[in-house]
Structure 1
């Protein structure tokens, strides 16, 4: 790979292919693969990622909001797109752009039926979300009768799938809770199907569910973070390849004396004669202020350089006192050898947050060659 000459996010599509194929290998051949591409495909680029996954024969995409689905349709994506958190104000757009809403409450169900009927729809596909313990979105089990009655009184919509969301599928200590979620979901699905004359698809598993609970793969699985190279465990991380590499360069090097301060609010005071490097990436690019004051770090010529002082909007300063480097040298924020998950651990967050925080102003470069 060429050395960075500015701040860039490299996106490696062959790594995406590897991750897709690895996760796909965990499935029964008849189990469908829904790829989650919300939040700019976890901070990368939703359009390029979706286009590549189409070539790999992904069955479905999922986004959080209608606008994300519209962007994919505008880019020519044609496979079905599930909108996980639709709002009433966007229902007409959802229908116009052939998106498929998650229906998660009585109000949302009533409103979508109303608009679907006004738009003279017949058997418009929707997905019914049930809450089995995450307590975020979803109907309760005792809503099944209500849902069935609403469906029997309209021909405007048809239920394509029933689904729920595992709360702690990556945590072995929560195995009993997860198994209870799986059992509850099966019971809900059986109750629903007993009242209808058709059987929707069932899907429950996220990436960790795919890996840890093969008995719960059902008709379809939903993979997000695994596609981007993280398996929610050190063991599974070894089987996946991070698709994104965030790089920058050293803009300037400073030599500072003992007790000089660095950055806004004079947050760092040198302990002696020190050498610092300024790097053109800041909190407007996704490097949160929580990474400042020696909590976060970057890598220069194979060595770790702690971020000193407060993270600025467009820049960070790092301590390079013991690193042999010069202005213009490449800086690694994260890549396949210095993973975003390790950086996340330094501030007690998760890789999801580090990845999705990368600003859209950071230049993206796409590569297809093998890492």
Structure 2
């Protein structure tokens, strides 16, 4: 692997394939797989990732917003795409690009039915989301009959799937709560299917649901973070490989005398002779200020170098007093060994936040 000469995110497609195979190994042969590529494919690149996964025959893609789905379509993705959180203003654009909306309350259901009717659609695929305990988006179980009644009065749409979202599937201390969610979804889906008179796809499991609750796999599962190499537990992380390696380089090395300060607001004042390295990556690239002042670290020549002072917009400074290094040397921010999860832990956050924050100004390089 060539040494980095600038800040770059290397994306390992072989690891992505292996992660998909591991997750699919948990499923029954007929269970469909929905790949979640929202948020710039968790900070990687949605079009490249989706094309790679489409060639591996995943069944569905999911995005959060309409514009994410439009970008996939314009790049040539042909598999079905579920828009998890559509906004009414985007309905015509959504239909124009053959995207499939999640309908989660009466307002959005009524407005989509109105648009679908005006556009003279016939059996356009929609997905009905029910809230079973996450309390974020979704109809309540009390809405089953009213939704079914509205759907029976139109030929414009057809329910492709019924789904819900687990709130704490990674936390086995919340097993009773999760099992209650699964039971509620079973009851809702049985009632809803009977009310509309046909069988949509059922799906509920996210990555941790796939790994921990096989009884809830139903007809399809959804995975985001697992595809990108994180299993939300030390046990599962052994079988998944983070696909991203974020690298940068040393731009300059400074000798900081005792009493001198480093960076904005004199965020670090040296109490001894200190050697620092300045790196071309900062909070505009996704390394937030919460990693500063000795919390976060990078790896240089296999040694930890902690961040000194405040994170700047385009740069961080790290302590290399005890590291043999020079200007131009490669720096690893995270990879498959020192993972994004490890770095996120230092700032009391999670891998999701860190990897989805990586700026699009950072060059992506795909390794196959």
TM-score band (shorter)? over 0.9
Cα distance in structure 1, aligned partners of 2:161 and 2:232: 26
**Matched position secondary structure for 1:290:** helix
Cα distance in structure 2, aligned partners of 1:271 and 1:101: 58
Cα distance in structure 1, aligned partners of 2:76 and 2:172: 41
Superposition pairs of residues 116-155 of structure 1, within 5 angstroms? 116-155=116-155
Deviations 1:27-48 (A, max 9, x none): 0000000000000100000000
Superposition pairs of residues 255-274 of structure 1, within 5 angstroms? 255-274=255-274
Cα distance in structure 2, aligned partners of 1:114 and 1:194: 25
**1:90 to 2:90 alignment:** yes
Partner of 1:80: 80
Partner of 2:224: 224
Q: Runs of 4 or more off by more than 6 Å in structure 1?
A: none
Partner of 1:290: 290
Deviation at residue 85 of structure 1 after TM alignment: 0.2
Greater alpha carbon shift after TM alignment, 187-196 vs 34-43: 187-196
Cα distance in structure 1, aligned partners of 2:282 and 2:33: 36
Partner of 1:246: 246
**Matched position secondary structure for 1:49:** helix
Deviation at residue 271 of structure 1 after TM alignment: 1.7
Cα distance in structure 2, aligned partners of 1:10 and 1:193: 45
Cα distance in structure 1, aligned partners of 2:29 and 2:66: 30
Cα distance in structure 2, aligned partners of 1:196 and 1:318: 61
Structure 2: tracts of 5 or more residues without a match? none
**Matched position secondary structure for 1:175:** helix
Cα distance in structure 2, aligned partners of 1:195 and 1:319: 65
Cα distance in structure 1, aligned partners of 2:66 and 2:195: 30
Q: Give the root-mean-square deviation of aligned CA atoms.
A: 0.4
Cα distance in structure 1, aligned partners of 2:56 and 2:354: 26
Structure 1: tracts of 5 or more residues without a match? none
Greater alpha carbon shift after TM alignment, 189-198 vs 272-281: 189-198
Cα distance in structure 2, aligned partners of 1:2 and 1:119: 53
Deviation at residue 346 of structure 1 after TM alignment: 0.6
Cα distance in structure 2, aligned partners of 1:271 and 1:228: 41
**Matched position secondary structure for 1:248:** strand
Deviation at residue 213 of structure 1 after TM alignment: 0.2
Superposition pairs of residues 169-180 of structure 1, within 5 angstroms? 169-180=169-180
Structure 2-normalised TM-score? Answer: 1.00
Partner of 1:187: 187
Cα distance in structure 2, aligned partners of 1:329 and 1:213: 45
**1:164 to 2:164 alignment:** yes
Superposition pairs of residues 23-102 of structure 1, within 5 angstroms? 23-102=23-102
Cα distance in structure 2, aligned partners of 1:330 and 1:26: 38
Deviation at residue 259 of structure 1 after TM alignment: 1.3
